[in-house]
Structure 1
Amino acid sequence: MKNINFYKKILLAIEKTWQQFVTYLIRASELQVWQELDRKGRVFSWHAYDPMTGRSASFGSEEEMRMWIEQCYYRS
């Protein structure tokens, strides 16, 4: 009975590790977007990077960044 519980624990640990690995791979390929802030905490620029294509861009506003994303990924 102890061996069965031991093997169940090992299988659960392997499954959890696999799920974390797959999650990491998925996140690593997602579009990354971030803001740059000035000393007072105000946003002064927006950035986007697509690890799948290597494309990156910087913008002065969130609206400009959203337009770029829409043009790149949602319009045919």
Structure 2
Amino acid sequence: MKTSAVLLTLNRIWQGFVRFLVNTSELRVWQVSDGHGHTYWRAYDPVSGRSSYLGSEAEVRSWIEQRYYR
């Protein structure tokens, strides 16, 4: 296994552990880069269980507004 793959796996495990400890209902948004260098946004609403992959900050804002103004 390559070093980058090991680090990615360890990072995912760590994030899962932190989420378990925090157990919050706050909306989570973070930026992700894929293996091809494309950058996008990931959003997750733990209250509804909904998540989305979004291409821009404007799309993230729209997704958040839909959460609060349904």
TM-score by length of 1: 0.52
Identity %: 52
How far apart are residue 38 of structure 1 and its match?
6.1
Runs of 4 or more above 6 Å deviation: none
Unmatched segments (≥5 aa) in structure 2: 1-21
Structure possessing the higher radius of gyration over alpha carbons: 1
Question: Which residue number in structure 2 is paired with residue 36 of structure 1?
Answer: 32
Matched, 1:52 2:38: no
After TM superposition, the score normalised by the length of structure 2 is 0.56
Q: Which structure features the higher share of helix residues? A: 1
Across the aligned residues of Structure 1 and Structure 2, the Cα RMSD in angstroms comes to 2.1
**Quick check: 1:35–1:43 contact (8 Å CA) kept in 2?**
no
